[in-house]
Structure 1
């Protein structure tokens, strides 16, 4: 289908968005299972938090590997393998009763599978085949798909947990995820032609050279630093927002609806970020996104902890939640081209998830040691401010606006 002349870029982006909605929606609903898993297994909140931290790290670690497979052999295999692994992990989790087995099913299979069928491969598969002037909006639309999945999955999984228990909810997730397999086939791409006659030393110096150039680039490393904070922030909230809601004496539905609102708000945020990328420097877009998070956390800490506060907080945070992806991917492409975009952007996501590992794990340590998340909120606020400043020195030329021709 990729050779069909009628196959336009927006259909490609819509398909990638639909696949991301399923894999990302399932992954970002895992925080709702923390309390039920703790009650069922008796492992303790610190151990369960470590499992969720492993899931964050696994999701990120898989992406540059899956991106490398996609860059070399085409995206179809990486996406299909990811969908199958994610469904298998969800299906096996009800039989896992130790920290080790949960780390394998949730941390490696489920989260790793979601990573292989997530942003790095999807953006590499779709955006690289979209005309340059539309890539910002295409990446924003794909990212919005992941946010829509969060909006749907969070209340859906909470409803399943309430009606059929957490085990039934996991099996339901497995069934939903496996339906994404046909989408992976639609998004398959042919393996790039790497023959000497097709490549040429001036066109493609190889992945090893691309990696060497990227890690010698100060701007690329600064981009990693900012994305690290994004991962810390998101993983902390996805994993521990239900616990924060419980500490405030509010019902679990407030947490699930807050996560859903974050996803809904990020649909608008992602599309707006894609629009901004085509008109403004991506580093300035990232500066304002990270800076706004520091301000929002400060406002939340001073506000009364009511249902309305959580919902308003979710709207504000959701607008920049994963809307950092379009400008970050855009900067990777501007700095080092689109040939190895899946691999190089996948590495930034890995850094994102190192932050995610710490956000999920340290949150569990904080609640066990102090009985609340106060110090985590302070750390989140400081890191967001530092991330905003880290993006300003990134070298990026002025945006050239494309004027449609008639």
Structure 2
């Protein structure tokens, strides 16, 4: 037993480092899709609704596949899941780059990229972390994984814009597909499955697991609130670069704004992970959503300039993925680590449904009105709703996942 624990303690830093690099690559590439809005639509003469729908499909497919990916990681291991996801993700980028039709855009940039992101994302990495890390340290380690994803956004956004300027958008997508192949050797470090702890319940079928989970009121509130997070993130990621160009700024400002979001989210994610172990997680989440409302409202009131764009990006970055560590920690706390991959996956599905509407409505509203204002205002209203949803959440373990647990 001692040797086993010693081996696990040696392996844990390797698991965390490899998982963080995987999260950086996967989310970093994904965070650049908004930079392709203008060059892609300009080359083919498509409206922004076309490109927005492709990325809306991507977000929805990502959400739909996430519970499946989480279940696969729980059952078959993280390495196989991540490797399969990386291959599918790269194939989607190649089809997006070389297809040249709306159908290829929807299939490559939408369906295949969505499947790939969902099975090679930080959510799958966090499921591995959740099984390997003691309960009292999970929130902080989830923050590390989330911060690594943001570091990827900070690195890839400006590089992506420079590549587009220098090589064109198709070649940039091909280069990014090559980068995703690095996930294959890195995933080997996450090979195998961590033994379940005393927190685990008896083996449950998928249907029974979901039936019990969705009878837990706090989980339902958490899932509903996560919809709003997805709406905010996807709209800003995809449409803010084009919005800033519409306001008279250069495309480079948009890329650096995305990079700043990623940079400041490193601080925000680590801070949220730390605070999630110190303060009630539901109140932390409510304060994050309310802060988003304030930051967005101020951004819309102040005339848009490079300074205001960068300030908005910095403050938004502090709140960007700060919702993820406490949300993941709450799911793990409700149900234990054994089913975290699948049940966090279903929470994330709600997040991605929100992403679908954030991206799609952004394109539709702009094409119909020539402005993004209505979607900005809708985001503010949804932020207020999310604030209210999180306040009544209780951190208590679900009784339906506690009855069969051994005494602790």
Q: Structure 1: where are the runs of 5+ without partners?
A: 399-406
Worse-matched range after superposition: 359-368 or 111-120: 111-120
Could you tell me how far apart the structure 1 residues matched to 2:71 and 2:250 are?
44
Q: How does 1:67-216 map to 2 (within 5 A)?
A: 67-190=70-193, 203-216=202-215
Alpha-carbon distance, 1:208 to partner: 2.8
Q: Say whether the 8 Å CA contact 2:95–2:105 is kept in structure 1.
A: no
Q: What do the CA deviations read for 1:362-382 (whole angstroms, capped 9, x no partner)?
A: 000111111111111110001
* Contact kept in structure 1, 2:49 and 2:363, CA below 8 Å: yes
* 1:2, distance to aligned residue in structure 2 (A): 11
TM-score (norm 2): 0.92
The root-mean-square deviation of aligned C-alpha atoms, in Å, is 2.0
- The alignment status of 1:16 with 2:2, answered yes or no, reads no
Q: CA deviation at 1:318?
A: 0.5
CA-CA distance at 1:393 after TM superposition? 1.0
**More divergent stretch after superposition (1-10 vs 384-393):** 1-10
What is the distance in 2 between the residues matched to 1:305 and 1:108?
Answer: 35
Contact 2:131 2:194 in 1 (8 A): no
Q: Tell me the equivalent position of 1:27.
A: 30
- The aligned length equals 393
In the TM superposition, residue 52 of structure 1 has moved relative to its aligned partner by: 1.1
Aligned residue number for residue 45 of structure 1 = 48
User: CA offset at residue 10 of structure 1?
Assistant: 3.5
The structural deviation recorded for 1:261 is 0.1
CA contact (8 A) 1:74 1:192 kept: no
CA deviation map 1:348-373 (0-9, x unaligned): 11110000000000000111111111
| 2:59 alignment partner in structure 1 | 56
Measured in 2, the distance between the counterparts of 1:54 and 1:31 equals 14
The answer to whether structure 1 residue 289 and structure 2 residue 288 are counterparts is yes
**Superposition deviation, residue 182 in structure 1:** 0.9
CA distance in 2, matches of 1:5, 1:379: 47
For the residue of structure 2 that corresponds to 1:395, the secondary structure is coil
- Structure 2 partner of 1:274: 273
1:374 alignment counterpart: 373
CA distance in 2 between counterparts of 1:2 and 1:302 reads: 55
1:301-320 correspondence to structure 2 within 5 Å = 301-320=300-319
Q: Encode CA deviations 1:47-91: one digit per residue, 9 max, x unaligned.
A: 111111111112211111111111111111111000111112112
| d(CA) in 2 for partners of 1:248, 1:116 | 36
Residues 274 and 326 in structure 1, CA contact (< 8 A), matched pair in contact too: yes
* Shift in CA distance, 232/76, structure 1 to aligned 2, threshold 3 Å: same
Aligned counterparts of 1:202 and 1:176: Cα–Cα separation in 2:
39
1:8 shift after superposition: 4.3
Shift of 1:120: 2.6
CA change 1:73–1:2 in 2 (3 A) is farther
Residue 397 of structure 1, CA deviation: 4.7
> Secondary structure of 1:7's match?
helix
Name the CA distance, whole Å, in 2 between partners of 1:35 and 1:67. 34
